[in-house]
Structure 1
Amino acid sequence: MADIIQLLPDHVANQIAAGEVVQRPASVVKELLENAIDANASVIKLIIKDAGKTLVQVIDNGKGMSTTDARLSFERHATSKIRTADDLFHLNTKGFRGEALASIAAIAHVELKTKQENDEVGNSIVIEGSTIVSQEVVVTPKGTSISVKNLFFNIPARRNFLKSNTVELRHVFDEFHRVALAHPSISFAMYNNGSEAFNLPISNYRQRIVNIFGNKTNEKLVPVEEDTEVLKISGFVGKPEYAKKTRGEQYFFVNDRFIKSPYLNHAISSAFEGLLKSGNHPSYFLNLTVNPETIDINIHPTKTEIKFDDEHTLYALLRSAVKHSLGQFNIAPVLDFERDANLDTPYHFNNKETSTPVIEVDRSFNPFKESYASGKQTTSVKKQTSNNWDSLYVGLESKGTKTENDFSEVHFESEETTISAFADVNKIEQTKTTYQLHNKYIVSTIKSGMLVIDQHRAHQRILYEDFLKNLTIKEGVSQQLLFPLELHFSSQEIQIISQLQEDLEHTGFVFSNVSDETIEITGVPVSVPESEVSIILEQLISDVENEVPDTHFSATDLLAKSMAKSLAIKKGQSLLKDEQEHLVNKLFACKEPNVSPTNRTTFIIMSVDELDKKFI
């Protein structure tokens, strides 16, 4: 039988490797930024066009590369970071496997310009699909500039799997934030389609967070500091009142490398136990410093997941440190066993002026007199002796009788309604047309059997069609707020709201001002309570960023779905009888009552025959 196993050509092997390393433009951004940091750059610029699909360029002022190194950097498994297998457990750099540039060059047009500090001229290399097109000497400043153009040009199937520019740009922003937050000692700048998106000067960690997420973030932060032999923790957590429905602002850095760890995330959540509303998530920006020998970074292609030797100890230390900080800064109540509670000032004496105590003496008081009068006292006190003890019980019998009579005249504020045996049966049945089961489902009787409605999904369908109608005819009814509502968002979130502003106004929102970090709202739709406005906008921003449901849906449809999801009554909410009947009537007045806006079943019908079979 002929041999069938053969070695793959290099360009095919590189494309397969690129499938693991380069998933989208954000993956290229991550690898190039980390290379610039490893080159000891102090200033890094990122230039993006069309969310990275057309161009991703990173310019740094690092140490640059020689002619040989520049050529060798595009070979697979060529790296300056490690020499032996033991070096994998003493890593202090970002990249180390030597796959990034080779993978990127296999699926894009790459142009590299680099120059070392002591060289007079630099080198330029142009590669298209792993093929070197040109290599020549050029005049270029110190450092490295690498441009990645037309990503996935030779793999159209992968390019078709990319999402819209809004979603891909969000992933690029996420990667930029992760790298910039981990290195506040480096100056970063980002340009998107020719306009400046970020300009982050060298600063401390708190200033870097504020520069990225807006000035309002400063008052939300609670510092966390802990230094032990096993783990050093530094950074910030957000105050509970600023927790969001989404998990956007959650960052773990281990030895200046961003990681994802559901286990350590649970430690933070448990530290906030009892301080957050259900469904809200705390924000945190925490740097963990551990011995490189106690972690394994080489378990994931993108290096965002690492393995710890002793996760349980890290969990306990992290939870305790966060809990201590929340208590130390009076965010959470703490128990102080050394404090004497008797020395605390009562609440009703707070801010009350002290007064000199006055002692009043009744000088006419004589304890040996049977009766006395003093000042305004009018009540006479009779001395009881052992001789007339039986007089104390005189009249008890009559009092007891009176008490019984008094109880017979007691009236209750609300009496329980009883149904007469001769009441109209039809009227009784009409008052019990719907029932609420476990505060989740509405049960109603129909001619063929029983109807069970999911109240949350049903209300979503009702609100969705109402919002969609208002958006289509552009006649949303608005209620004016007594005081303008000012909300704070990051610059990227403000851009999304600006794009949807016209559609939001058609639903009933009235915007009086939209600036770089704040929006001011003076009117909201009639069905929207003021307290829900920030939740609705946060959910809407999250849906747009994650492209829920998908690109082929219009912004109008997306907006209606998002607002319906935010405002629909939740499972566990008790409804009055009239509210239940109104929900049932409104549902079956919808065009598509069978499914929710997300195509989930809203109700089921159990026929009498199905019920009969249950009792066989």
Structure 2
Amino acid sequence: MNTQSGHNPPVIRRLSEQVVNRIAAGEVIERPAAALKELVENAVDSGARRIHIRLDRGGIDRIDVSDDGCGMSPDDLLLAVERHCTSKLRDETLVHISTLGFRGEALPSIGAAARLSVMSRQAGADSAWSIRVEGGVVSTPEPCAGAPGTRVLVEDLFFATPARRKFLKSPRVESGHAENVVRRLALSAPHIAFRLEFDDRLILDLPAQDRAARVAAILESGDADGLLAVEGQRGDLKLSGYICAPSVHRATANGQMLLVNGRPVVDPVLRTAVRVAYRNVMEHGRHAVVALSLEIPPEQVDVNVHPAKTELRYADSAAVRALVIGALGRALGTGAGVAGVRPDLIQSRGSSPARIWYPPERNADAADLSTRLARPLVPARPDSGLPSGFAESSLPLAGLPAARQTAPDTLHDQAATTAAMAHPLGAAVAQVLGTYIVSQTADGALVLVDQHAAHERLTHEILREQYMGGEIRAQRLLLPEVVDLPARQVDVLLSFGAALARLGVEIEPFGGTAVLVRAMPALLGKENPGGMLRDLAEELEADDLASPAQADALDARMDAVIARMACHGSVRAGRRLTHEEMNALLRDMERTPRAGTCSHGRPTWLKLEKADIERMFGRR
């Protein structure tokens, strides 16, 4: 207290109720979407069977939410606009919370920052009642006309707090946030019909439906057959929901719909778990599309972390992460073309789903698959007579000489071809541009396969299986090879020498900036070790957490290291493949987990349905 300088000491005073509400509104109502979220949560908690939402200019000018819920009496209306009044808490422990709202802050905060009108009628009441709040000033409830249920009207948002209003984005941006809020809440309550309009334009019209149909509608995936079901349990924790295949992804995480005990959340723990589960099957920088619901005992989670109620605190976040990563990993462990959304070449169609195809039981073990893939591939004969860029095929190709089409060494059993076409990726027809396999399915679809990307994933999965089994089989070099590298990379590789030995790579120092390579993974054949060692050094350098003394961190990083090795040991683009090799590759893709994308997350196959082709040629 500085009294000598002539300044009067500050005086502590009690803030008015209006100022208190405006301060609180800054936390609860940060934008129109936040106000809309609170209003729709109230409508869901009221037992509504239908909710109708209208917004003008993204909610900046007007938010109108109507429901057919239980309604409120005049006395209830007065309490509803008073801070910290709620009907949703049965006790004061803040543990067993079964409703979306519970803090009693939404309507007072909105009324402090905007012009708020609430009209409500209970079932069997003679009339509806209305109440108005403008800038925190509450009017007396008055009778009015209205149907059973509640209608909340918010106009001129932030007129009482102009500083907050000028920070709002454009109506288009605010509309996007509002739509995302409604989609998340609609997912949490599939038994409720939702209708959403922006400036008299219909955006969503969802009937009451089962959860699978609601997820398909919210994620815009066509139908539920295009989704992968997720189920998992770890102690008292239960996870369920649906996810899209790795071929469907977005630039942001807005396509991730996450529920915890029925509450929509934007939770970093769950988002991190989703990212880790998709890390090795999706291109870097892209985000998965999922709809997941976590059931957790109320005493193991705190929802009262922030007024927005979208952030959580778990008693055991590690268990939550492990459950999500494990359950998603099992759902994603399907072969290419087996289930989920197919990669699509027609951009205007968005994410078109394919029907789930259930493959026959796998009868080849990992060792057999490893042996067959490790066998050197025999290139097509130079005198095959096929056009440049094509490999041999069992199917007659238009334009080739008739004698060539009927030659005994190029015709194969038609029954085998028909059987191959019944598989998801069909029967190989040709190899084009020395890189892509063209195949045809029984339903008339064409499939394009990137031979290098596909074989990279197959090699990756075999190496990974061997690594998880204890150790990748190594093959000692007849003549050890000296590899020169930058000094820092030599240091990194030597420090991880024991871990690399488990991967089948045996190295030792050779003085200066060189290492001596004594063994390589047997599956990679005669791959030049120089380029691979450089890539492995970069991979290990890129991870600040991995160190030789941190076994857990290193094991978590090994999948990325194995991916680098798989890339070096795979069939290269431009290499000719025989008909048998192409079909073998397709069948292995269908049997191998995560084969829909390569180790870098790029798609290994693309599909054109017959309808797609007809539309491209104007036949539809």
Under TM normalisation by the shorter chain, which class is it? 0.5 to 0.7
| CA deviation after TM superposition for structure 1 residue 62, in Å | 0.5
In structure 2, give the amino acid aligned to 1:318.
V
Judge conservation of contact 1:127–1:134 (CA < 8 Å) in 2: no
Deviation at residue 205 of structure 1 after TM alignment: 2.0
CA contact (8 A) 2:74 2:141 kept: no
- After TM superposition, the runs of 4+ consecutive aligned structure 1 residues lying more than 4 A away are 217-220, 328-334, 336-354
Secondary structure of the corresponding residue to residue 27 of structure 2: helix
CA distance in 2 between counterparts of 1:331 and 1:85 reads 53
Deviations 1:364-396 (A, max 9, x none): xxxxxxxxxxxxxxxxxxxxxxxxxxxxxxxxx
The alignment status of 1:136 with 2:138, answered yes or no, reads no
Question: Any conservation in 2 of the 1:275–1:332 contact (CA below 8 Å)?
Answer: no
Who is 2:262 aligned against?
256
Letter in 1 for 2:36: V
Aligned positions, number: 357
Distance 1:109 1:220, change over 3 A: same
Cα root mean square deviation, aligned: 3.2
Which residue of structure 1 lines up, in the alignment, with residue 564 of structure 2? none
Secondary structure at the residue paired with 1:56? strand
- For residue 237 of structure 1, the aligned residue among 238, 243, 246 is 243
When residues 264 and 213 of structure 1 are mapped into structure 2, their CA distance, relative to the original with a 3 A threshold, is closer
Offset of residue 21 of structure 1: 0.4
Paired with 1:332 and 1:312, the residues of 2 have a C-alpha distance of 31
Q: Deviations over 1:508-542 (max 9, x none)?
A: xxxxxxxxxxxx999xxxxxxxxxxxxxxxxxxxx
Q: 1:213 to 1:265 in 2, by over 3 A?
A: closer
Q: Cα gap change, 1:331/1:325 in structure 2, threshold over 3 Å: closer, same or farther? A: farther
Equivalent AA in structure 2 for residue 109 of structure 1: R
Which residue does 2:166 correspond to in 1? 160
2:208 paired residue number: 202
Task: Specify which of 84, 94, 98 is matched with residue 92 of structure 1.
Answer: 98
Q: Where does residue 27 of structure 1 map in the other structure?
A: 34
Alignment of 1:217-366 (within 5 A): 218=224, 220-328=226-334, 340=365
- Residue 6 of structure 1 aligns with an amino acid whose one-letter code is R
- 1:304–1:215 Cα change, 3 Å: closer
User: 1:114-161 deviations in whole A, cap 9, x for unaligned?
Assistant: 111121212111221121244211221111111011111122121111
**Any gaps of 5 or more consecutive residues in structure 2?**
1-7, 340-358, 374-392, 395-411, 417-533, 536-614
Q: Give the match for residue 176 of structure 1.
A: 182
Change (3 A) 1:337 1:208: closer
Shift in alpha-carbon separation, 1:329–1:104, aligned structure 2, 3 A: farther
Query: Are 1:150 and 2:156 an aligned pair?
Result: yes
Task: Work out whether 1:126 is the aligned partner of 2:132.
Answer: yes
Any idea what the Cα deviations from partners look like across 1:457-481, whole Å, max 9, x if unmatched?
A: xxxxxxxxxxxxxxxxxxxxxxxxx
With over 3 angstroms needed to count, the CA separation of the structure-2 counterparts of 1:150 and 1:330, relative to structure 1, is same
Match of 1:73 in 2: 80
Separation in 2, partners of 1:2, 1:276: 62
Is 2:57–2:172's contact at 8 Å kept on the other side of the alignment? Answer: no
Q: Report the TM-score when normalising by structure 1.
A: 0.54
Conserved in 1, the CA contact under 8 Å of 2:84 and 2:103? yes
Q: Secondary structure at the match of 2:241?
A: strand
CA distance 1:342–1:179, change in 2 (3 Å) = closer
Aligned 8 A contact 2:233 2:323 in 1: no
The answer to whether the 8 Å contact 2:259/2:293 transfers is yes
Instruction: Indicate conservation of the 8 Å contact 1:326/1:332, yes or no.
Output: no
- Distance in 2, matches of 1:39 and 1:352, equals 64
Q: Which amino acid aligns with 1:78?
A: C
For 2:215 and 2:362, the matched residues in 1 are separated by: 36
**Structure 1 counterpart of 2:153, which letter?**
S
Measure the CA separation in 1 of the matches of 2:229 and 2:201: 34
Q: How far off its partner does 1:314 sit? A: 1.3
Q: SS state of the match for residue 85, structure 1?
A: coil
Cα offset for 1:192? Answer: 1.1
The alpha-carbon deviation at position 266 of structure 1 amounts to 2.4
Task: Using the TM superposition, give the Cα deviation of residue 327 of structure 1 relative to its aligned residue in structure 2, in angstroms.
Answer: 1.8
User: Does the 8 Å CA contact 2:175/2:198 hold for their aligned counterparts?
Assistant: no
The one-letter code of the counterpart of 1:235 is G
- Match of 2:280, SS? coil
Residues 210-258 of structure 1 show CA distances to partners (whole Å, capped at 9, x for unaligned) of: 3234354656421111244321111111111122333231121101111
Which range is displaced more, 123-132 or 100-109? 123-132
* In 2: Cα distance, 1:164 partner to 1:218 partner: 34
Check 1:321–1:3 CA distance in 2 against 1; reply closer, same or farther (3 A cut): same
- Is residue 36 of structure 1 aligned with residue 43 of structure 2? yes
For the residue of structure 2 that corresponds to 1:113, the secondary structure is strand
Counting aligned pairs with the same residue, the percent is 35
- 2:17 counterpart residue number: 10
1:554-569 to 2 correspondences below 5 Å = none
**Preserved CA contact (<8 Å) 1:42 1:60:** yes
CA 351–41 in structure 1, closer or farther in 2 if over 3 Å, else same: farther
Report the alpha carbon displacement of residue 293 of structure 1 after superposing the two structures with TM. Answer: 1.2
Map 1:423-572 onto structure 2 (within 5 A). Answer: none
2:62 corresponds, among 45, 48, 55, to 55
Distance in 1 (CA, whole Å) between partners of 2:112 and 2:42 is 18
SS of structure 2 residue aligned to 1:305: coil
Amino acid at match of 2:130: S
Query: What is the match of residue 558 of structure 2?
Result: none
Q: Cα distance 1:265–1:215, how it changes in 2: closer, same or farther (>3 A)?
A: closer
**Structure 1 segments unaligned to the other structure (5+ residues):** 355-437, 440-519, 523-616
Kept after mapping to 1: 8 A contact 2:48/2:68: yes
Give the CA deviation at 1:209: 2.7
Taking structure 2 as the reference length, the TM-score comes to 0.53
Contact kept? 2:50, 2:192, Cα under 8 Å? yes
CA contact (8 A) 1:220 1:242 kept: no
Which amino acid in structure 2 is aligned with residue 180 of structure 1?
Answer: A
Contact 1:239 1:331 in 2 (8 A): no
**1:314 partner amino acid:** V
Checking the alignment, whether the CA contact within 8 Å between 1:294 and 1:308 is kept in structure 2 is: yes
Alignment of 1:387-402 (within 5 A): none
CA contact (8 A) 1:44 1:60 kept: yes
User: Aligned to 2:253, what secondary structure does the other structure show?
Assistant: coil
| In structure 1, C-alpha distance between the alignment counterparts of 2:142 and 2:413, rounded to whole Å | 79
Q: Which has the higher contact order (CA 8 A, sep 6+)?
A: 2
Cα distance, 1:173 vs structure 2: 0.8
**How far 1:206 sits from its partner (Å)?**
2.4
Q: Deviations over 1:425-450 (max 9, x none)?
A: xxxxxxxxxxxxx99xxxxxxxxxxx
> Do the aligned partners of 2:256 and 2:289 also contact (CA within 8 Å) in 1?
yes
What SS class does the counterpart of residue 123 from structure 2 fall into? coil
3-state secondary structure, aligned to 1:203: coil
> CA separation in 1, counterparts of 2:145 and 2:118?
13
- Specify whether residues 215 and 250 from structure 1 end up closer, same or farther in structure 2 by C-alpha distance, changes over 3 A only: closer
